[in-house]
Amino acid sequence: MLCGIAAIAQEETPAKFKLYGFIRNYTILDTREVSAGTHDLYFYMPKDKAVDDIASGVDLNEGLNWKSVSLTTRLGLDFSGYQFGGMHASGKVEADFYSLNGTTGASTIAQLRLRQAYVGLKWIPSENESFLLNIGQTWHPMGADMPHMTNLESGAPFNPFNRSPQIMAHWTKGDFTLTGGFLYLSQYLPMDAQAGAKSVNPYKYGLPESYLGVAYKKGPFVAKVGANLIATKPIRTYLTDGGTTAKAHGLLVAPSVFGFAQYTNGLFQLRVKSIYANSSEHLNLLSGYGVAGYTDEADGRHYTYTPMRDWASFISAQYGKKVQVMGMLGYMKQLGTAAPLPDVTQLWLNTAAATNIQQAFRATPTIAWNIGKLTVSLEYNFTAAEFGSRDALTGKVVARNANGLYDEGKTHWVINHRFINMVKFNF
């Protein structure tokens, strides 16, 4: 393709550049301790009850706490207009200030981190047809359409949240766009069974994540359906009975699918999205996987894995321009592993939150005032999560059953009320 471009190219048009960004400050009040990143701005889930002793039942995680920081202030550079023969090129380099999970000491110091960096190469064969090839780091196709809100997590874990290096092709013909390509996991990682934490290694020694989807856009309506497939290697080595390290084999192969619809009428917009996910903790869903079994062969141990199945959905709406009213309702539920677990301790779930959550609900009514380039918003975030309960004698969380779920009567609900003020100035 590149040789063909060089042969037919007649002239080169220089690119145009546009610097953009914003200064953004969040002030947040929570009614209990939360599992969150980026100095607690990226809110994931409330923390489970923590008691000083079993008899008293005093919840150590309950109580008001607040934070006010200007992390996620952003700088970006867009370029467009470059043309070389029949090829049009555009792209983006975008970064923001970021503090991973620090709340004390030097770890609270913000560092500049890469958000997006990609180039888009576009060809237009005919009037109603185009071919776009995006190469670099940008939004995962399953997470690109987000609910209406002003908080940092943008609906996670009720909506996929992931930016990854990728090669993604988009072929548009009339009202339809066919999208397909491959991704490499970078910042948002799967669980590593061998390390008991998130790591790139299961993906690094597996296969590229693949995606295929189709979109329809006509007038006020947008509809999308898509699927992605991961093939990771959670366990690479194991200890034999003799105490030596041997090679492990076997891939976790897990597909996930989603559907999305959007309707726009003047200042009103409605979005609906639903995801059926398998082992999608790299999409920031409350997901994971377990070991379904293994066999010892001459070349090493062969593992068989089973994904945790999840259902996550949201509906959101927005109305207004200078004064905007918006909100989201989100729900997620673990549906259990696809195959029974011989050993329920060999189940690895997303450690971004407590691993004993099996369903959750969120509502986020929001009002925002747009005054030129200044936006001020107030948001209320109600989140309820169902946790596996603790044994009255040992204080340990009760075990999940062979399907990776909690038996009836062995769970309890925890609620967090979060109040968010955002002040953002665009430039």
> How much is the pLDDT for 373?
97
CA torsion through residues 60, 62, 65, 69, sign: positive
pLDDT beyond 70 at 100: no
* 378 beta partners: 367, 421
- How does pLDDT run across 155-208, given as a tens digit for each residue? 999 999 999 999 999 999 999 999 999 999 888 999 999 999 999 999 999 999
C-beta of residue 183 within 8 angstroms of C-beta of residue 169: no
Which phi and psi (to 5°) does residue 5 adopt? -60, -45
The CATH number covering residue 193 comes to 2.40.160.10
Single-letter code of the amino acid located at 39: H
> How much is the pLDDT for 11?
73
Q: How confident is the model at residue 58 (pLDDT cuts 50, 70, 90)?
A: confident
C-beta of residue 252 within 8 angstroms of C-beta of residue 287: no
- How does pLDDT run across 370-421, given as a tens digit for each residue? 999 999 999 999 999 999 998 888 888 999 999 999 999 999 999 999 999 9
Count CB-CB contacts under 10 A for residue 40.
25
For 45, the 3-state DSSP assignment is: strand
> Alpha-carbon distance 405 to 398, whole Å?
11
CA end-to-end span of the chain: 38
Q: How confident is the model at residue 51 (pLDDT cuts 50, 70, 90)?
A: confident
Average pLDDT for 295-299: 93
The pTM score is 0.92
Single-letter code of the amino acid located at 275: I
Non-local (6+) Cβ contacts of 223 within 8 A are: 215, 216, 217, 259, 260, 261, 262
Count CB-CB contacts under 10 A for residue 425.
16
Nearest to 287 by CA among 166, 187, 156: 156
Count of domains forming the chain: 1
Q: Residue 260: give the domain boundaries.
A: 2-426
- How does pLDDT run across 223-261, given as a tens digit for each residue? 999 999 999 999 999 998 888 999 999 999 999 999 999
> Alpha-carbon distance 290 to 250, whole Å?
13
The first and second tokens of residue 73, run together, are 């202030």
> Alpha-carbon distance 272 to 404, whole Å?
28
- Give the residue, 36 or 99, on which the prediction is more confident: 36
